[in-house]
Amino acid sequence: MKLGFIGCGNMAKAMIKGIVASGAVAPGEIYGSNATPEHAAAVAEEFGINAGTNNITVAENADILFLSVKPYQYEAVIVEIRGAMRPEQTVVTIAPGKTIAWLEEQFGAPVRIVRTAPNTPAHVLAGVTAYCPNSLATAEDVAAVECLLASFGTTVELEESQLDAASAIGGSSPAYVYMFIEALADAGVAEGLKRPQAYQLAAQGVLGAAKLVLESGKHPGQLKDEVCSPSGSTIRGLEVLEKGAFRGTVIDALRTTIEKARAL
- Structural domains for the chain: 3-158 (3.40.50.720), 166-263 (1.10.3730.10)
Backbone dihedral region for residue 65 (phi beyond 0: left; psi -120 to 50: alpha; all else: beta): beta
pLDDT digits (tens, 9 = 90+) for 199-255: 999 999 999 999 999 999 999 999 999 999 999 999 999 999 999 999 999 999 999
Q: How many Cβ atoms from other residues are within 10 Å of residue 218's Cβ?
A: 13
Beta bridge mates, 153: 127
Percent of the chain with pLDDT over 90: 97
**At CB < 8 A and 24+ separation, what contacts does 209-218 make?**
none
- Give residue 200's pLDDT: 98
Return the pLDDT at 109.
93
pLDDT in tens, 139-164: 999 999 999 999 999 999 999 999 99
What is the rounded average pLDDT for all residues in the chain?
Answer: 96
Q: What is the pLDDT of residue 263?
A: 84
The pLDDT, as a whole number, for residue 264 is: 78
The pTM for the full model equals 0.89
**Rounded mean pLDDT, 174-194:** 98
The string of DSSP codes covering 195-227 is HHHHHHHHHHHHHHHHHHHHHH---HHHHHHHH
**pLDDT single digits (tens) 74-101:** 999 999 999 999 999 999 999 998 999 9
Q: How confident is the model at residue 20 (pLDDT cuts 50, 70, 90)?
A: very high
Per-residue confidence (pLDDT) for residue 262, from 0 to 100: 86
| Alpha carbon distance 141, 22 (integer Å) | 19
